[in-house]
Amino acid sequence: NRDDLVENLGTIARSGTTAFLESLSGDEKKDSALIGQFGVGFYASFSVAEKVEVLSRKAGEVQAWLWASDGQGSFTIAEAERDGPGTTITVFLKKEDKDYIEEARIRNIVRTYSDHISVPIMLAAKEGDTQLNKGSAIWTRQKKDISEEQYTEFYHHVGHVFDDPWLTLHNRAEGKIEYTNLLYIPSSKPFDLMNPDRKHRVKLYVKRVFITDDCEGLMPSYLRFVRGIVDSEDLPLNVSREMLQHNVVVTRIHNALVRRVFGELKKKAEKAPEEYALFWDNFGAVLKEGLYEDHDNRDKIIEIARFHSTDSDNLTGLADYVSRMKDGQEEVYYITGDNLDMLKSSPQLEGFRARGVEVLLMTDPIDEFWLTSVPTYKEKPFMSVTAAAVDLSNIEKPKSESDDETEKEEKADEGDVAKLVLAFKETLGEAVKDVRSSDRLTDSAVCLVAGEGDMDLHLERMLKLQGHMDIPTLSRVLEINPAHPLIKKLTAAVDKPAKKKSVDDMAHLLLDQAKIIEGEPVTDPTAFSQRLNAVLEGGL
C-alpha cells in the first residue's frame, strides 16, 4: 500500500542504496530477504530506465497506488486502479538500452539465473504467453522421488556434457548451516582436464537463484572434474564474489563437500574395485594433486590412491602393497617415468624382480612432486629404485635347486671387478659421479642411478622438457653387473695393456647405453657411433 511504497521504494529513490542499507536491522537472514524484495536490484533498473512505475494493490484492500520515479531523487505516489491484488512493475527503457527487451536476451538471462525458481516467469510474446523457467529444482526433491533418468537428464543440463555420470551425490545438510548439494563425477575425462587454468564446474545457488559458477572456495582445484550444484540457505542473495572468497559459510560447505566426495570414493574403491579403476584412470592424476596441495586431506587421499605395480596388471592401494612387503623390506619402492611399458622393462627393476619385491610404477608428472610432500606411508619411507642408496642385501632371493651349484661361478672375481671399476672411473672421469658394482641388476650389464641427495633422473628430465633449463645436468652413478658375461670378459681384459683401448671404448659405450635406456641423449653421438662401429667390426 501507500505506506509500504513510501517506506521502502521511497528510501531508494531519495538517496539510493546507501540510506537503504543503513536502515537494515542487522539480522542477516531477515535483511537478505528484504534486499531480495526491495533492494539494489530494483535500484539498478534506473541505470537503463528513463522511468520506473510500480502499480500495487495490497491484499485485503480496495485502493491501488501508482508509484513513479526517474531515479533522480524524487518520486510520486497517486491513487490508481487495479483489477485485483498484486504488483505490476513497468520499466521505461532508454533508447540506447532497448536490447534488454530482446526476446533472446530475456530468455538467456532467465534460464541462466532463475531457471529453478518455483514461481513461473512468463514472457508475453506476440504468439502468446510462454513460461521461460522450468521451476524444476530437482535437488529440492527427495531422492526416492527422482529416477536415474531424471538425475542423468539434469547432469546433462547442468554439466553441458553427453556422457552418463559415473557417480551421483545428492545430500541435504541441516544444522548450523543448511545447503543441498547435487554433485556428479563424470564417466569420461574432459579434454581440458589437465589445463592449469581449468576451474571446477560446481554452480552456487542461493535459495534456487543462480549466483556464480566461479566460486573458487567451493571446491579445491584437484576436484575440478566434479560437476553439479550447491544451493545454500544461509548466504545472502546479494552476495558478491569478493564476499565469497573469505566467507565462513562457503568454507564450511567446502570442507563438508570434500569429506563427502572422499567418503563416497572410498566406498567405491572398497566395494567395486573394477569400477573404481575406471575412475582412477580418468581422474587419478588430478586427484593426486591434492597430496601436494592439501595437507589437511592428505591422509584421506592417500588411502584412495591407486597405482600400477610390478606385481599385477590390476591397480593396487598402498595398504595392500604394505601387506605384501617382503621380510627385511623397510621401504615402499617406486619408479617414475613417462611410459608404463618402458618402466616395466627398466633395468633398475631386475634386482627387485629377482627377490620378488613389488615396485610401484608411476607415470603421472605430479608423482614427482607429491612424493616430496609425503615422505612416508604408515612409517614406511618411499624410495625410488633409481636412488643409489637402495640396499637389497637384507631381502633374500627365492632360491631354485640349481642356485647353490651356480652361485659361486655366476659373478666375476671381486678383485677383478674392483680393478674394472677403477679403470672405468679413470676413463669416464667427470662424466659419472661414481662407478660401482651393483646387486640390483640381473640381466643388464649396467644402469644409471641418482647419487645420494641428487634429483631423480626422471624429474630432472621432466623439468628440462618444461623449460627449466637453469637446472644443472648432474653426473650419475654408473652401476655394473658383475654377473653379466660382458662385464666378466672386461674384468679378464682389464689387466692386459693391449686391451686398454678396448676397455676404455667399452666404458664409454656402456655409459651411453645406460643413458639411452633412461631416455637421455648421448653426450657425443659421433664418438658413440665410431666406437660402436669399431666394436662391431672387431666382432666380425
C-alpha cell at 14: 531519495
Stronger pLDDT, 399 or 125, i.e. the higher one: 125
- In the structure, what pLDDT confidence band is assigned to residue 535 with cuts at 50, 70 and 90? confident
Q: Give the model confidence (pLDDT) of 264-275 as tens digits.
A: 999 999 999 999
Q: How far is CA 373 from CA 161, 229, 285, 368, 537, in A?
A: 35, 32, 16, 10, 51
Whether the Cβ atoms of residue 483 and residue 411 lie closer than 8 Å to each other? yes
Give 412's DSSP letter.
P
As a whole number of angstroms, the distance between CA 27 and CA 17 comes to 18
Q: Give the model confidence (pLDDT) of 300-309 as tens digits.
A: 999 999 999 9
In whole numbers, what is the pLDDT of the chain averaged over residues?
86
- In the structure, what pLDDT confidence band is assigned to residue 11 with cuts at 50, 70 and 90? low
Res 20 pLDDT > 60: no
Q: How far is CA 301 from CA 196, 263, 304, in A?
A: 20, 10, 5
| Contacts within 8 Å (CB) and 24+ apart, 3-12 | 4/56, 4/58, 5/54, 5/56, 5/65, 5/67, 5/77, 6/77, 8/37, 8/38, 9/38, 9/42, 9/54, 9/67, 9/69, 9/75, 10/67, 10/75, 12/38, 12/42, 12/43
Short-list 412, 425, 413, CA closest to 477: 425
Stronger pLDDT, 281 or 339, i.e. the higher one: 281
Average pLDDT (293-302) is: 94
- In the structure, what pLDDT confidence band is assigned to residue 258 with cuts at 50, 70 and 90? very high
Stronger pLDDT, 393 or 25, i.e. the higher one: 393
Res 127 pLDDT > 60: yes
Residue listed under C-alpha cell 589437511 = 296
- Helix (H, G, I), strand (E, B), or coil: what is residue 478? strand
Other CB atoms within a 10 A radius of the CB of residue 529 amount to 12
Whether the Cβ atoms of residue 434 and residue 478 lie closer than 8 Å to each other? yes
- Helix (H, G, I), strand (E, B), or coil: what is residue 36? helix
Q: What are phi and psi of 196, to 5 degrees?
A: -60, -20
Residue 408: per-residue pLDDT = 46
Res 35 pLDDT > 50: no
Beta bridge partners of 203: 229
Kindly state the percentage of the chain with pLDDT values over 90.
54
C-alpha cell at 191: 579434454
Q: Give the model confidence (pLDDT) of 182-196 as tens digits.
A: 999 999 988 778 776
As a whole number of angstroms, the distance between CA 155 and CA 163 comes to 9
Residue 143: per-residue pLDDT = 92
Region of poorest pLDDT, from 42-51, 334-343, 379-388 = 42-51
Stronger pLDDT, 497 or 80, i.e. the higher one: 80
Res 534 pLDDT > 60: yes
